[in-house]
Amino acid sequence: MSQVRRIARVVSTTRRQHPHGRLLLLLITLALQTACGGTGHPAAPAASGRPSTAPVPSASATRSVATADFSCRLPVNGFNSAPGGFVSFPADEYAPEAAQRLPSSQLLPDLGISYDAQARRWLPVRRQQVSADGRLYAYTDFPNRPDGPPTSDGVHVVDAATGREHLRIPNRPDPALPWFVAGFDGASLYLWGREPWTGGHPQSVPVGLAEADPVTGRVRRITDAGSWIYVGAGAAWGMDGSADDPTYGRGRRLLRLDLHSASQQTWLTADAALQLVGVDASGHPLVELNSDSAGKAVATPKLWLVPAPGQLVELRATGGLSPPELTEVGSVLEDGHGIWMMPPQPELWLYRPSTGLQLMHRFDDGITRTIAGGCS
C-alpha cells in the first residue's frame, strides 16, 4: 500500500457503460492477466509450480538513472518532516533547501509545501493550491481533530510575493461543513467539503465542488455530489468506486465533470479498478492499473494517459523497467520538460514521447517525496 496517507474514499454512483468501454475492458483484462500470470501473456512460473515467496529485486534497484539532456532544478517536498529541496539536472544531485528559506509555520492539516518559481519562495501549501501565474495561494487552517466537526475561519487567499492576506472567503452556514481548497484552474479557485469527519481529515472524503472568485470572494455551487480529485482545463476528474472503499481516486469508471455546465460524462469503463493519479498540463487524466487499485500484488503496473473519451495512450518505461506505482496525491506534474512522476518509493521519473518513461533520480535517504513545482 502507498506510504502516502489516504485522505478520502470514492463516492459510488450507478454503473454506466461507455461507448468505448469494450476497448478498455480488453486492455485492462490483458494487463491484469499479464501482471498476475494469467492467460494474456503468461508469466514464468516459480520452479515449484507455486507463486514464489522469495523477495524479487525491482529493476530500478539495479539500473542506473537516465542522463538528462536539459538543465533545471526540480523542487520536491519531503514527508515525515523532511525539508523541501531541489534535484538538479543534468548533475542528478539532490540538495535540501536552507531552513531559513522554508515556511516558518505549518498549517493543519499539513498537506505539504510547494515552491513558487515566480515569487522565488516556498509556500506552506501543496502546489494545487497555488494559482497558475504564481501570484496567489489559498488555504484553510484548522485542528486535525480525531472526532467532532472541523472548525476553521474560512478560506484564506494570500499574495504569494508578500505573504499578506488578499481575501478571506467565509464558510457556509451551519450545518454545512467548512470549505477545503481543491485547487486553482485558470482564474478561479475551486472548493469542496469533506465528510464523514469520524477519524479526522485523513479519513474524510472530498464531496461536491464549488467555484470561488479569488478577487471578489463570490462562490458558485457546481455540484453537491461526487468526489472530484483534480481540476484542470475546465473540468474536474474522479473515479466511480465502491462505496465501502476507504480510499479515493480508485474505481472502474473515469468521470469528467464540466466546471461550467456541471454536466458529467463517463470517459472510460474498465473491468478492473484503476487509480486516478493526476492530470497533465492540458487537463487530461492519467490512470494506472497497480497493486493499490487491483487490491492485490501487480507485478507489472500499466500507466495510461487518457486524451479523449475511450482513448488510451500507454506510457511505457524504457530499459525493461516497469512503470512506477503511483498514488493520487502529488504524484504527477507536467512542465516544459515532460510529465514528472514521483511514486511512494524514493524515485523520480520523467515521461517524454521521444524517450518514453525514464528513471531520472533515486533519493539515497529513502524518504517519500512529492513534486513541489516545475523544473526551472
In the 3-class helix/strand/coil scheme, how is 260-287 assigned residue by residue? CCCCEEEEEEEEEEEEEEEECCCCCEEE
Query: Which of 47-61, 88-102, 300-314 has the weakest average pLDDT?
Result: 47-61
Backbone angles phi, psi at 194, to 5 degrees: -140, 135
C-alpha cell at 247: 480510499
Q: Which residue has the cell 484542470?
A: 232
Give the 3-state secondary structure percentages of the chain, helix then strand then coil, rounded to 5. 10, 35, 55
In terms of average pLDDT, the best of 35-49, 65-79, 183-197 is: 65-79
- pLDDT reading at 110 higher than 80: no
Q: In angstroms, rounded to a whole number, what is the distance separating the alpha carbons of residues 79 and 37?
A: 35
Mean pLDDT estimate for the chain: 80
- pLDDT reading at 56 higher than 70: no
Q: Which amino acid appears at position 12 of this protein?
A: S
> Span 331-335, mean pLDDT?
94
Identify the pLDDT of residue 327: 81
> Cis link prior to 109 (omega < 30° from 0)?
yes
- pLDDT reading at 256 higher than 90: yes
Q: In angstroms, rounded to a whole number, what is the distance separating the alpha carbons of residues 304 and 341?
A: 13
DSSP H helices, the chain, are 21-36, 291-294
Per the CB < 8 A criterion, the answer to whether 214 and 167 are in contact is: yes
139 closest CA partner among 195, 184, 205: 184
Does CATH number 1.10.357.10 belong to domain 21-37+58-371? no
Per the CB < 8 A criterion, the answer to whether 353 and 52 are in contact is: no
Identify the pLDDT of residue 194: 79
Identify the pLDDT of residue 303: 96
Identify the pLDDT of residue 272: 86
Q: Where are the beta strands (DSSP E) in 97-197?
A: 114-116, 121-123, 136-139, 155-159, 165-169, 180-185, 188-195
Identify the pLDDT of residue 25: 40
**What percent of the chain is predicted at pLDDT more than 70?**
75
Q: In angstroms, rounded to a whole number, what is the distance separating the alpha carbons of residues 109 and 287?
A: 27
C-alpha cell at 39: 492467460
Q: In angstroms, rounded to a whole number, what is the distance separating the alpha carbons of residues 255 and 38?
A: 29
* pLDDT tens, residue by residue, 57-105: 444 445 679 999 999 999 999 865 678 999 999 999 999 999 999 998 7
> Span 314-334, mean pLDDT?
88
> Is the whole model's pTM more than 0.85, yes or no?
no
* pLDDT tens, residue by residue, 116-159: 999 999 999 999 999 999 999 999 987 656 566 677 889 999 99
Confidence of residue 241 (pLDDT cuts 50, 70, 90): low
Q: Which residue has the cell 469508471?
A: 253
The sheet with strand 155-159 has its strands ordered as 136-139, 155-159, 165-169
Q: In angstroms, rounded to a whole number, what is the distance separating the alpha carbons of residues 136 and 144?
A: 24
> Span 32-45, mean pLDDT?
35
Confidence of residue 17 (pLDDT cuts 50, 70, 90): very low
Domain ranges for the chain: 21-37+58-371
Backbone angles phi, psi at 272, to 5 degrees: -125, 150
Please indicate whether residue 10 or residue 315 has the higher confidence score (pLDDT): 315
Identify the pLDDT of residue 94: 96
Per the CB < 8 A criterion, the answer to whether 112 and 330 are in contact is: yes
